[in-house]
Structure 1
Amino acid sequence: MASTPSVSELRRAKFARRLPTELPTLAGPAHGTVSLPVHLAWSGLTQFDLDQPRLRMSYYRIVLAEGMHDDLVHYLNRDLLISMWPVLRTLISRDIRAVWESTFTELTSDSQAVA
């Protein structure tokens, strides 16, 4: 008899299906003001100035949590994600963090340069 997957396993599978195949495909903006569509930013702010650290962090948290594959590729920037990851990883869910870190070794603390 097969065991039933846990809630955490189901959530992780949901996030894993959304991932890009590699980080260089994340070609989103690195500067300026970005407006997120309502399917991502359905509550609160919808415009984010990526040159403001707190707004940039909020933007990344929203896109990582709510974004589908095409959203991740369109709205996230590889270099920003890697540079922000040491702090960002503490602000997102364990499931999102586990999926991203197990897929992309560039995000694990062992492989990161001093941020």
Structure 2
Amino acid sequence: MGLYRTVLAEGQHDDLAAFLNPHLLTGQWPVLRTLISRPIRDAWEAAFPELTTRAATAA
């Protein structure tokens, strides 16, 4: 979780491709979204609407 949090908040494009697994990211998003700041969370959810759906399903 710590690595994902750091990459989501500070990672460059190459870091995203190298360190993030899409299936793990969507599966862990309900927890990860509580660990990152609101602006970062909002940006990721705006770019990837499936994350919002996943978070709503888990709530």
1:12-51 Cα shifts (integer Å, max 9, x gaps): xxxxxxxxxxxxxxxxxxxxxxxxxxxxxxxxxxxxxxxx
Q: In the alignment, which of 75, 78, 98 is matched to residue 22 of structure 2? A: 78
**How far apart, CA to CA, are the structure 2 residues paired with 1:95 and 1:69?**
18
> What's the TM-score, normalizing by structure 2?
0.85
The residue that corresponds to 1:102 in the other structure is 46
Instruction: Determine what percentage of the aligned residue pairs are the same residue.
Output: 61
Structure 1 residue runs without a partner (length 5+): 1-56
Letter in 1 for 2:2: S
Aligned pairs for 1:20-59 (under 5 A) are 57-59=1-3
The residue that corresponds to 1:93 in the other structure is 37
Name whichever structure is richer in strand by fraction.
Answer: 1
Structure 2 residue runs without a partner (length 5+): none
Bigger relative contact order, structure 1 or 2, given CA contacts below 8 A and separation 6+?
A: 2
The number of equivalent residue pairs is 56
SS in 1 for 2:3: helix
Name whichever structure is richer in helix by fraction.
Answer: 2
The residue that corresponds to 2:8 in the other structure is 64
Q: Based on CA coordinates, which of the two structures has the bigger radius of gyration?
A: 1
